[in-house]
Structure 1
Amino acid sequence: MKLSFVLWLASVLPQPAADPLCLATTIYLEARDQSSLGQRAVAEVALRRRESGQWGESVCDVVTARKQFAPTIVNPGLRMKNLRAWERAVQVAFEAQADWQLPAGERKEVVPGASHFAALDLANPSWATYPQVATIGDHTFFRVQRLTPPKAAPVPTVNVAALPSATQRMAP
């Protein structure tokens, strides 16, 4: 299957149904030759970025943000031929998303705080001088930004005493 088809499919699926597909595609493209732990770490970076809201409101927004992850860097005509690696990427994506639904303190984080990663034998990004969180397989994970979830808007309080009583509202 072609990368362009998978990304098109994700674009027509409703949210949040498209997110596991986008995450699995990213895991496949970035880490299909890595261990399950390495794949989970890649997923975690994407999920942490989504949670922060800085790269988009969905996983698909995050992994297709310009020049951030492989789906926007790799040729869209790329054929994703390794079915076994695809199945594994899908499994890791679903597991990572399920874990990420837990409260932050209960998650099984592999690379806590990591916001970026790179295969340093292939690339040397400017942010590679930031603190390293871990190296798993060919990828080194970095804490470039402290990503925190956006704060929920405060719930407005209503001064009940200032509201007209039910009998006042019904009066002619």
Structure 2
Amino acid sequence: MKLAWILWLAQVLPQPAAEPLCLATTIYLEARNQSEAGQRAVAEVALRRRDSGLWGESVCEVVTARGQFAPTLIHPGHRLKNVTAWEKAVRIAFQTQREWSLPPGQRREIVPGASHFAAHDLANPAWATQPVAVIGDHSFYRVMRLAP
């Protein structure tokens, strides 16, 4: 399936139904080759950003904020071909959203406080100083200046 189709579907679905679709798409595009912990960490960053309200009020707004996550960085014609990785991303999206619905003190967070991440082989941003965690080939950061 094409990325453009998934993003279109996320726009026409009611917001609660679109949230896991947007989160799963981001997990797939950003971390399908990572461990489950690495995929959950990417999801946590998106959910934390949604909660901050600085990038949008929904997961879909957050992950499609210009230049922030793979759904806006990858060509819309890109095909999501790995069905096994897609199924895993969907499962992780739902699990992480369930976990995130718990009060903050009861969540089992993978990357506490992380609002950003970077793939080692793709980027070395100026804000990337001291990582909260390194999982696979991604480093996760708590960035004080959160505005996009």
TM-score scaled by length of structure 1: 0.83
> What does residue 53 of structure 2 align with?
53
The runs of 4+ residues in structure 1 deviating greater than 4 Å are: none
Counterpart position of 2:3: 3
> In 2, distance between residues paired with 1:104 and 1:122?
31
Trace 1:1-172 onto structure 2 (pairs within 5 A).
1-129=1-129, 131-145=130-144
Q: Which has the larger radius of gyration?
A: 1
CA contact (8 A) 1:39 1:89 kept: yes
Q: Tell me the CA shift for residue 33 of structure 1.
A: 0.4
Equivalent pairs counted in the alignment come to 146
Between the aligned partners of 2:144 and 2:36, the Cα distance in structure 1 is 25
Q: Distance between the aligned counterparts of 1:96 and 1:39, measured in 2? A: 10
Return the alpha-carbon distance in structure 1 between the equivalents of residues 71 and 40 of structure 2: 17
Give SS of 1:141's match: strand
Listed one character per residue, the Cα deviations across residues 112-137 of structure 1 (whole Å, up to 9, x for unaligned) are: 000000012221111112x3100000
**Cα deviation, residue 57, structure 1:** 0.4
113-122 vs 36-45, which moves further:
113-122
Deviations 1:31-85 (A, max 9, x none): 0000000000000000000011111000000000000000000011000000000
Identical columns (%): 73
Answer whether contact 1:113 1:146 (CA < 8 A) is retained.
no
What CA distance in whole angstroms lies between the structure 1 residues aligned with 2:141 and 2:113?
A: 8
Offset at residue 145 of structure 1 (A): 2.6
> Quick one: higher RCO (CA 8 Å, sep 6+), 1 or 2?
2
Residues 36, 92 of structure 1: 8 Å contact kept: yes
TM-score, normalising length: structure 2: 0.96
